[in-house]
Chain A
């Protein structure tokens, strides 16, 4: 059974940093690209960042470019999102999602194909 378990969310002041983690199990982690998708309270879905199987291709939404860094550790079956210079508009539930296509991203910007499995999310609240 595929499982994605996010952690690391919490309440943080504007301008501070937070690191999210996603522990994956039930599939061969390094056979797939992985992504972070967020959902602000009461709003829709927003793709945040993606990474190919070997970290050779990485991409970010314009809204987080230069502030967030995605990474993965295939030996630990884990995905990470380092979030710096956090803003109030970053407040959201952050989901880890597995790319259903395979190891590569759909473009040089590492946009996703589709998401066949999602974690339950970790809530990030940016407020003073």
Chain B
């Protein structure tokens, strides 16, 4: 069973800064089958990225995904106040979610 490990656990940044979130898989992920979600307190998760790098409908272009194999990255180019949230990665074809990275205001 694939295990997804996200790092760091918490990222403390200021608005306007760049955020780089990592998701590492215990085995190679086929065909870049990786998604990223954003979850704000009291809300359901929202799909940001699928296929490792494709933005979901309505997602601003400051969000980008990259990577392949076992190492994937979610980048937020310039943090907006509404971007402070918890982010999860998920691999297609398994039940695996990462444990989440919290992006908090510094």
Contacts and interface: CB of A to CB of B under 8 A. Distances in A.
Interface of A: 44-47, 61, 95, 100-101, 106-107, 111-121
Interface of B: 33, 35, 37, 43-47, 50, 56-57, 88, 90, 92-95, 97-100
Contact of B94 (A95, A111, A117): A111
B6 to A, nearest CB: 9
Contacts of A61: 95
Contacts, number: 58
Contacts of B50: 100, 114, 116
Main SS of chain A's interface residues? loop
B33 A113 contact: yes
A12 B45 CA distance: 26
B99 A115 contact: no
Nearest to A98: B47
A120 B42 CA distance: 9
B95 A47 contact: yes
A107 B98 CA distance: 20
A93 to B, nearest CB: 9
Nearest to A118: B44
Contacts of A121: 44
Q: Please provide the 3 A-B residue pairs with the shortest distance between their CB atoms, ordered closest to farther.
A: A114-B35, A118-B44, A47-B95
B72 to A, nearest CB: 13
Contact of A120 (B33, B37, B44, B57): B44
B97 A45 contact: yes
B100 A44 contact: yes
27 contacts: A44-B88, A44-B97, A44-B98, A44-B100, A45-B37, A45-B45, A45-B90, A46-B97, A61-B95, A95-B45, A100-B50, A106-B33, A106-B92, A107-B94, A111-B92, A112-B90, A113-B92, A114-B50, A114-B90, A115-B35, A116-B47, A116-B50, A116-B56, A118-B45, A118-B46, A119-B44, A120-B44
Contact of A44 (B46, B93, B99): B99
Contacts of B90: 45, 112, 114-115
> Quick one: which of B44, B94, B97 has the most chain A CB within 10 A?
B44
